[in-house]
Structure 1
Amino acid sequence: MVSLTVIIVYAMRLYSYLLFASVLVTWFPDIQKSTIGRLLYRITEPYFGIFRRFIPSVRLGGGYMDFSPVVALIVYDLFVQRGVIYLLGKVLY
């Protein structure tokens, strides 16, 4: 039988892959407008939106660069995933 901890860890890992895929999709406007691109946006934007509110885009040349997804990915990996795994270890074991 699979434990609740394993299910949570796999779900969090899947979400991290979706976050990364969402960042990659932004490089390809045609994919971004597809069904998959819109689905990725709907799944990941609630998390990315938190960071977009606080981290402004940086002007580079004739356009803007949004660094908030990079910060969001780092925070998710270093704090959210590891923090939840640590807390699950403390509570369940």
Structure 2
Amino acid sequence: MNYLFTILDFAFTVYQYMIIAYILMSWVPQMRDTGIGQLLERLVEPYLAPFRRFIPPLGFIDISPIVALIALHFARYGLFSILFKIM
């Protein structure tokens, strides 16, 4: 059962880093046109889209990825607390 927690923790961590990399790539316009940029877009944008729909940008700053990372953090620990109680 410990393996389940380790695998889930690793998956959440990797996805958080993918979101951060995708955010950083937005600062360099040509980066999103690369193969890695397009892969990250396909994997991260479906998660970020609902947050972008409800949280408008503040001027030129899009804070929806920050809110998405915080939501992912709470989902991670919520899931872990539920699984810990079950097991």
Q: What do residues 9-40 of structure 1 show as CA deviations (whole Å, max 9, x unaligned)?
A: 11111111111111111111111111101110
Aligned to 1:46: 46
Structure 2 gap ranges (5+): none
Within a 5 Å distance, the mapping from 1:58-69 to structure 2 comes to 58-59=58-59, 64-69=60-65
Offset at 1:58?
A: 2.1
**Normalising by structure 1, what TM-score?**
0.83
RMSD, aligned CA: 1.6
Within a 5 Å distance, the mapping from 1:7-86 to structure 2 comes to 7-59=7-59, 64-77=60-73, 79-86=74-81
Structure 1 residue ranges (4+ consecutive) displaced by more than 3 angstroms after TM superposition:
none
Structure 1 gap ranges (5+): none
Greater helix share, structure number: 2
Greater strand share, structure number: 1
Identity between Structure 1 and Structure 2 (%)? 40
